[in-house]
Amino acid sequence: MMRIGHGYDVHRLVEGRKLILGGVEIPHPFGLLGHSDADVLLHAICDALLGALAAGDIGRHFPDSDPAYGGVSSLKLLREVISLTAARGYGVQNLDATVVAQSPRLAPFIRDMVENIATACQVDVERVNVKATTTEELGFEGRREGISAHAVVLLRKNGANQEFEA
Ligand SMILES: Nc1ccn([C@@H]2O[C@H](COP(=O)(O)O)[C@@H](O)[C@H]2O)c(=O)n1
Ligand SMILES: C[C@@]1(CO)OP(=O)(O)OP(=O)(O)OC[C@H]1O
Residues with CB under 6 A from ligand 1: 101, 105-107, 132-134
pTM value is 0.95
Atom of ligand 2 nearest to the CA of 74: 1
Distances (CA, A) of 134 to 72, 122, 147: 27, 30, 10
- State the total domains in the chain: 1
Residue 120 belongs to domain spanning: 2-157
Residue 33 lies in a domain: yes
Residue 163 lies in a domain: no
11 contacts: CB under 8 Å, gap ≥ 6: 32, 33, 34, 38, 40, 43, 146, 147
Q: Does 47 contact ligand 2 (Cβ within 6 A)? A: no
Going from the Cα of 30 to the center of ligand 2, the distance in angstroms, rounded, reads 18
Please write the tens of the pLDDT for every residue from 92-132.
999 999 999 999 999 999 999 999 999 999 999 999 999 99
Going from the Cα of 80 to the center of ligand 1, the distance in angstroms, rounded, reads 30
Supply the mean pLDDT for the chain: 96
Residue 165 lies in a domain: no
d(CA 119, CA 83): 13
Dihedral, CA of residue 63, residue 75, residue 52 and residue 12, to nearest 10: 60
- Looking at the chain, the whole-number percentage of residues with pLDDT higher than 70 is 96
CATH label of the domain that carries residue 8: 3.30.1330.50
* pLDDT at residue 82 is higher than 90: yes
Residue 137 lies in a domain: yes
Residue 109 lies in a domain: yes
Binding-site members for a divalent metal cation are 9, 11, 43
CA-nearest residue, atom 15 of ligand 1: 133
In this prediction, residues 58-67 reach a mean pLDDT of 97
**Range in 35-44, 74-83, 153-162 the model is least confident about:** 153-162
Residue 41 lies in a domain: yes
* pLDDT at residue 164 is higher than 60: no
Q: Does 59 contact ligand 2 (Cβ within 6 A)? A: yes
